[in-house]
Structure 1
């Protein structure tokens, strides 16, 4: 029993640390207020967080598709994730709120953190996992990708997702979104 508790504690600590690594890495890519290019993401720089990390590609107005995911993400989803919509990690009743969070990340250009609850915690809304999304841009300055992470919080999650959404938090950062503006020269 003690070994299981120590193992669980170590894994939980590693998961929280992995999300911290992803956040620090994304912040290090932000230069002079500009969002990082998706092509700048170097998996070697986040090696200790890869198990809890994923890359997702935006499609449509408020959706994202997982391009690649770490083993812990797939374990929490209970299925291989490559090519799946990111919203499949979320219960059907909470997908509208989740899609609004993805839209907020795209429009605001700020990271979004989503507190999730497991199937067994739906009544209490106890936070059992955290999902983070960090916006990445293409060469035209549009947000087309996300660096993300998914990690359990506290006690082990008895059954894998889908998860319910407890809370969505947008983190304001010192990023500068590029905007097009119309310039008319009538000279």
Structure 2
């Protein structure tokens, strides 16, 4: 079966290939060339306070979806107001619990065929700052900018459970084993 979100798989594979054992990649190791065709879907966020994550860099795909440059904007700007607090709490676990996060998203008002996936991958802290490499890919099109997403399900896994043998430029094996399940949005 074809992966609906190959750019997310490429970003994960790049991140995984930069890990040395259990260590996290450093921000300085994230080379745009390594991201290849996934670069327009990639971004870097920085944790500026508990639960507050701001874009440091964002690829063209994200700026097109939002209709503006995202540098300095909060990650929550991509989401509908009802999901912003939940997103902040989930993203916080990247650093408090050292996890990787994937989220299934939708666009309110768009056809059900329009879906998106977001991944957040922690980086090694430097100088007191905590950052993460992320990726967002949309399957289907919507012509309305700014595009806001609803968070439907998320999957997180502790870093110690991730595969360590993914090669660069290869989609990483799905690290989520049967012991984990997608959480659903509480209605």
Question: TM-score higher than 0.5 here?
Answer: yes
> In structure 2, which of residues 143, 151, 155 is the aligned counterpart of residue 165 of structure 1?
151
Q: Which runs of 5+ in 1 are unaligned?
A: 1-12, 177-187
Following superposition of structure 1 onto structure 2, how do residues 103-118 of structure 1 map, counting pairs within 5 Å?
103-118=92-107
The 3-state SS of whatever aligns with 1:119 is coil
Following superposition of structure 1 onto structure 2, how do residues 139-150 of structure 1 map, counting pairs within 5 Å?
139=126, 144-150=130-136
Instruction: Give a deviation string over 1:84-115, Cα, whole Å, max 9, x none.
Output: 11110011111011001111111121211111
Two-structure CA RMSD over aligned residues (Å): 2.5
Q: TM-score, length-normalised on structure 1?
A: 0.76
Match of residue 124 from structure 2:
137
- Any conservation in 1 of the 2:48–2:129 contact (CA below 8 Å)? no
Instruction: Give a deviation string over 1:41-62, Cα, whole Å, max 9, x none.
Output: 1111112111111111111011
Larger Cα Rg: Structure 1 or Structure 2?
1
Runs ≥4 residues deviating over 3 A = none
Query: Which is richer in helix?
Result: 1
Offset at 1:16?
A: 2.0
Instruction: Give a deviation string over 1:111-168, Cα, whole Å, max 9, x none.
Output: 111111102159x7x761111110012246x671110111112x32343421111112
Match of residue 23 from structure 1:
12
Instruction: Give a deviation string over 1:59-80, Cα, whole Å, max 9, x none.
Output: 1011111111111111122221
Q: Distance in 1 between matches of 2:46 and 2:160?
A: 23
Indicate whether 1:174 and 2:174 are aligned.
Answer: no
Aligned residues: 160
Q: Distance in 2 between matches of 1:59 and 1:43?
A: 23
Q: TM-score, length-normalised on structure 2?
A: 0.76
Distance 1:133 1:43, change over 3 A: same
The 3-state SS of whatever aligns with 2:158 is coil
